[in-house]
Amino acid sequence: MGRRARTRRAATTAVLLATAMTISLAAGCSTPGDGRDDGRAPERGQDQSPDPTPTATDSVLAVKIDNVRQAKPQTGLDSADIVYVEQVEGGLSRLMAVYATKLPKVVGPVRSARESDLELLRQFDEPTLAFSGAQRKLLPLIDQAPLNAQPPGETADAYYRGADKPAPHNLYLRPARLMPQAPGADALTTGFRYGAAPSGGTADTSETVRYPAASFTFSWSESRNRWLVSQDGAPTVQTDGKRLAPATVVVQYVNIRKSDYHDSNGNYTPYTETVGSGKAKVLRDGRAYDVDWKRAQDTDGTEFTTSDGSPVNFAEGQVWVVFAKAA
């Protein structure tokens, strides 16, 4: 996939810096993996204003999702086309949910952006990024990136604070206030291919990926024809009780290094390199396939191929991509 023409509509650095100050004051406390970076939004029931007219877009909505214990269960993840899993400070994990074919009514809890997100999002044409805030030194990079940054300080009416969880784990997004409708599958410029399974592979009913302070297990359900997600030994369910169950899981082995940024506790942010090449394991239809991945530049999607160079198809449905540290 070659470099695509892009336009840019990001908030100014001054606005984002002001947002960061508001966010810092609003959070009041920090957790491993986060500075004081979450903005205030209306409490549930206080916002009686009608939905503003959102700006039309033909690109995806990407939402940073809190994934620590205090943030669970989450809302709206089952509507995502792709869920990316990344390691953050303290060995914990965070999710990026990407929406193209369906927008849920509510998504969250929403948390802060990381430097790695900017590289990962370059594969899309001016994506809208919903996030609670970011570290002060990262804000200019977000401002310069070819994306539509939408933290609470930019579109406050799109966010609200729920009463079900303590701050900062209770910030929720109403996607309809950022875009009028889902852009459609053509906006998923990831390089992913869907269709019949490749030949070969091995029967596999369970795979676990471990971070220093988090773990993910994907168990094959023959009756549902899906991979059931568990985290830290417990089933992953949403606020509506629905179990998360993607059709395809990709364990992508990447270089994870220390970035230049750290949180208020001095924990440095891991930087997940998604440009380059390496090995991956694709789980679909109760089988595991050892494959190669390649992303030549950040404006490209990621190609997954078998040992003979043949493209690897994913099963139709939601895809989880778990970035695991290469050996």
pLDDT tens figures, 281-294: 999 999 999 999 99
Determine the average pLDDT of the residues in 158-162.
96
Please report, for the chain, the start and end positions of each structural domain, with discontinuous segments joined by +. Answer: 13-26+60-187, 193-325
Model confidence at 48: pLDDT above 60: no
Q: Which CATH class is domain 193-325?
A: alpha beta
Q: Residue 19: its pLDDT value, please? A: 39
8-state DSSP, 124: S
Give the DSSP H or E segment for 304. Answer: strand 303-305
Q: Residue 55: its pLDDT value, please? A: 57
Which residue has tokens 């406050």?
A: 156
Q: Hey, do 13-26+60-187 and 193-325 end up sharing a CATH topology, with the first three levels equal?
A: yes
Q: Which CATH architecture has domain 13-26+60-187?
A: 3-Layer(bba) Sandwich (3.50)
pLDDT tens figures, 62-91: 999 999 999 999 999 999 999 999 999 999
Q: Report the distance separating Cα 139 and Cα 137, nearest Å.
A: 6
Model confidence at 53: pLDDT above 70: no
Which residues have CB under 8 Å from 112's CB, separation 6+? 34, 35, 37, 38, 64, 131, 132, 133, 134, 135
Determine the average pLDDT of the residues in 250-273.
86
Query: Tokens at residue 230, please?
Result: 């568990």
Query: Tokens at residue 64, please?
Result: 């940073």
Q: Residue 58: its pLDDT value, please? A: 85
Query: Tokens at residue 322, please?
Result: 């778990």
Distances in Å between the Cα of 70 and the Cα atoms of 31, 134, 164, 166 are: 10, 20, 10, 8
Of 166, 117, 168, the closest CA to residue 142 belongs to 117
Model confidence at 49: pLDDT above 80: no
Q: How far out from the chain centre does Cα 225 lie?
A: 24
Q: Of all residues in the chain, what percent carry a pLDDT higher than 90? A: 75
Determine the average pLDDT of the residues in 156-177.
95
Q: Residue 311: its pLDDT value, please? A: 96
Q: Residue 170: its pLDDT value, please? A: 96
